[in-house]
Amino acid sequence: MSTAVKISNEKIFSVLRAPRISEKTARLQEVSNQYVFEISSTATKAEVKAAVEQLFDVKVEGVNVLNVKGKNKSFRNRTGSRGSWRKAYVRLADGQSIDVTAKA
């Protein structure tokens, strides 16, 4: 199934918000060639795939998406919650990579 969807640059940056960099994501990059991005709460797998392929000029093999529930926190005897967000695990084809640490 090939997605030849062209989306505008404005849409790309509204779908992909930021790469998530941690020890776990660094291990995923080395072991299984997966990259993790924070995405828009309304973004679909097809939009994420098209955005990554256009922005980084790579071939995406698969996308897994999950919702992260915001945690309840308290500060000075008041309770509140951090916002919920959505992230995508993007698996690239063999031999391809993305430099997510490069500054623009």
CATH at residue 68 = 3.30.70.330
In a domain, 53, yes or no: yes
> What's the gap between Cα 67 and its chain centre?
12
Number of domains the chain is built from: 1
Dig out the tokens for 71 from the structure: 């945690």
What is the average per-residue pLDDT within 19-44?
Answer: 95
In a domain, 54, yes or no: yes
In a domain, 103, yes or no: no
Dig out the tokens for 40 from the structure: 């828009």
In a domain, 31, yes or no: yes
In a domain, 30, yes or no: yes
Residue 23: the pLDDT is: 96
d(CA 103, CA 54): 18
| Residue-number span of the structural domain to which 23 is assigned | 9-92
In a domain, 57, yes or no: yes
What rounded mean pLDDT belongs to the chain? 92
pLDDT, tens only, 45-96: 999 999 999 999 999 999 999 999 999 999 999 999 999 999 999 999 999 9
- Model-level pTM? 0.86
Cα distances from 71 to residues 2, 3, 81, in angstroms, run 37, 35, 6
Whether 36 contacts 51, CB under 8 Å? no
